[in-house]
Amino acid sequence: MEWKVEYSPSYSILKVSLRPGESVTAEAGAYVLHKGDIDIKTHTGGGLLKAFARAVFAGETVFVNTFTARSNAELWFAPGVPGDIKYIPLEGRSLIIQDTSYLAHHGDVDLGVAWRGFRGLLAEGSLVWFKTSGYGGVWINSYGAMEEVTLGPGEKMTVDNFHFVAMDDTISWRVRKFGGIKSFIFGGEGVVIEIEGPGRVYLQTRTLPPLAAVLRKFIRK
């Protein structure tokens, strides 16, 4: 398998080249095109119960699509928002991913969930994040550019809820309220993630709520 990301970091697209028998799995809706002969299998990506949790508590689709090459093939995948794409090798580790930032993966990877708590429900309307585990690799996407921050053992950081993309499962974290009710209503802040290393954290330079607020001005009632 070979892959490359083009048009980074603003309008990134993932291009994957497969040899016969090789496979790649992608989020429903990420497929752009393919060349060559492929088989497509739609499945839950980690068991029905985990897929049900992703659908009910994170608002994500139950299904993912696995593309298997019957000949030399090329596939293109694109995220739903403009921004960057980054590849993270798993190598037996786990990665916790914000529910809109999973794009695709390859190898023996399980798609599970990580419980966020009820503050996550209040912040974004979802109780869980994705949790990818196994051997292989995963491609994640961001809105805007993506920044990697490495924390040492015991090193702490507080992150805005909407700027979070992903983190290693070696990270200790909790979601908590930030500021008072006045700042939540008038200041646009409300929920943050307290993070403690060791591990890597991935952040995005833009967030969707301000964009949604701008677009609302142009939507006729």
In a domain, 143, yes or no: yes
pLDDT for position 53: 45
pLDDT digits (tens, 9 = 90+) for 152-165: 999 999 999 889 99
Give how many domains the chain has, as a whole number: 1
Rounded CA gap, 170 and 94, in Å?
8
Where helices occur in the chain by DSSP H, the ranges are: 48-58, 118-124, 181-186, 208-216
Are the beta carbons of 140 and 114 closer than 8 angstroms?
no
pLDDT tens digits for range 3-49? 999 999 999 999 999 999 999 999 989 999 999 999 999 987 554 44
Task: Give a yes or no: residue 87 inside a domain.
Answer: yes
Instruction: Please give the Cα distance from 2 to 16 (Å, whole number).
Output: 6
Q: Give the bridge partners for 113, in sequence order.
A: 130
CATH number at residue 208: 3.60.160.10
Is the preceding peptide bond at 79 cis, omega within 30 degrees of 0? no
Residue 29 lies in a domain: yes
**Full domain range(s) for residue 105:** 2-216
How confident is the model over 70-84, as a mean pLDDT?
Answer: 97
Quick one: pLDDT at residue 209? 80
H-run or E-run covering 76: strand 73-77
Question: Omega before 89 cis (within 30°)?
Answer: no
Where is pLDDT greater, at 220 or 184? 220
| Cα separation, 29 vs 7, whole angstroms | 19
Residues β-bridged to residue 42:
65
Does residue 221 lie within any of the structural domains? no
Please check the confidence at residue 187 and state whether its pLDDT lies above 70. no
Alpha-carbon distance of 58 to 134, in angstroms, equals 21
DSSP output for 148-194: EEEE-TT-EEEEEGGGEEEEETTSEEEEEE-S-HHHHHHSS--EEEE
Residue 44 included in any domain: yes
The answer to the question of residue 86 being in a domain is yes
pLDDT of residue 36: 98
Question: Which pLDDT tens digit goes with each residue over 39-74?
Answer: 999 987 554 444 444 444 444 455 789 999 999 999
